[in-house]
Amino acid sequence: MRDRETIDAELRRIALGRRSVRDGGGPSSRELDELLDELLAHTTGSPLTHPNVCEPEVGTGTLPRRAKAVRKPRRRHGVPRQLGLLAALPLSLVAVAAAGLVMLGTPNRDSSAQPAETPPSVAPPKPIAPPKPIAPPKPVAPQAPASRIAVADAAFIAALKHEGVPLPSQEYAMTQGHAVCDFLAQRPNFADAVDFVQRSSIWDANQSAQVTAGSIVAYCPQSQPATSDAIEPAYQNALSDLQAIEGQLQGIQGDLQNIRGDLQGIPGQP
């Protein structure tokens, strides 16, 4: 059996001869088939057999050696002619081509196997809020003067203390004073009012008269007696005391308002 390189060279020579020769004189198909069989035998490692070549039958001596041998029909291999030509190529070329295909296919598989990396999501920038308008400073409202009721309460408490009337608390005295005005609205009689205060409070008759007179002057001056004969001495004393104290309180209140106005004119003062 010839070696593989010799077979490859013979196949190339036959292929070139078949291309150059159009008509007769070219290599026979039998030679080409035999070379392909040898190449396949080299590839598979099986021993080469020639089933298509029949040994000549030698007679008892009558026929010469070169007598025409009766040939059996060749067994057709199911390999097409084009497949045989491809198999005749050197295995080195086939190995190089296969390696190239593997190298080309590997990056595609690697790239397809790797999951597509999603770009990190970038949060949209927060809109910048417009600056809040600065509200102009509120003008300082002038404080209202002390109400007439506050001045009346202060004058009523001061008059009772001046007359020596005991006071459990200022609220207790003011509550009794308003109760006197409510009573006089129903029964406009000074003596009855004094009796009412004495019965509903801790004070005696003289102290109740002082409380009743002070309540009329401070909270309900419309309830004072119409004639001077009906005016009790306690009422007259309480009236004079309350008028004096109320005048003093009003003067003090005026001074406080003037001082407050002067302070507002000074920069940096609230």
Give me the pLDDT at residue 64, please: 43
Answer yes or no: is 166 within a domain: yes
Domain extent at residue 203: 146-223
Q: Do residues 165 and 204 both lie within one domain?
A: yes
Give me the pLDDT at residue 172, please: 94
Q: Do residues 203 and 247 both lie within one domain?
A: no
Q: Structure tokens of 33? A: 């088939």
Residue numbers in the chain where pLDDT is lower than 70: 1-2, 16, 18-32, 35, 39, 42-127, 129-149, 225-270
CA-based nearest residue to 174, from 211, 222, 217, 223: 211
Q: Do residues 193 and 210 both lie within one domain?
A: yes
Answer yes or no: is 68 within a domain: no
Q: Do residues 181 and 250 both lie within one domain?
A: no
Answer yes or no: is 134 within a domain: no
Q: Do residues 150 and 219 both lie within one domain?
A: yes
84: Cβ–Cβ under 8 A, 6 or more apart, which residues? Answer: 32, 33, 36
Answer yes or no: is 231 within a domain: yes
Q: Do residues 214 and 197 both lie within one domain?
A: yes
Answer yes or no: is 154 within a domain: yes
The total of structural domains in the chain comes to 2
Distance CA 114, CA 136 (A): 64
Last residue of a domain, one of 200, 223, 246: 223
Answer yes or no: is 51 within a domain: no
Q: Do residues 219 and 231 both lie within one domain?
A: no
Q: Do residues 230 and 209 both lie within one domain?
A: no
For the stretch 9-55, pLDDT in tens is: 777 777 767 665 654 555 556 666 776 777 677 666 655 555 444 34
Answer yes or no: is 199 within a domain: yes
Q: Do residues 185 and 199 both lie within one domain?
A: yes
Q: How many CA atoms lie within 13 A of 182 on its CB side?
A: 8
Q: Is the Cβ–Cβ distance between 224 and 216 less than 8 Å? A: yes
Which of 32-49 are b and which e, b meaning 16 or more Cβ less than 10 Å from the residue's Cβ?
A: bbbbbbbbbbbeeeeeee
Answer yes or no: is 106 within a domain: no
Distance CA 15, CA 38 (A): 16
pTM of the model: 0.38
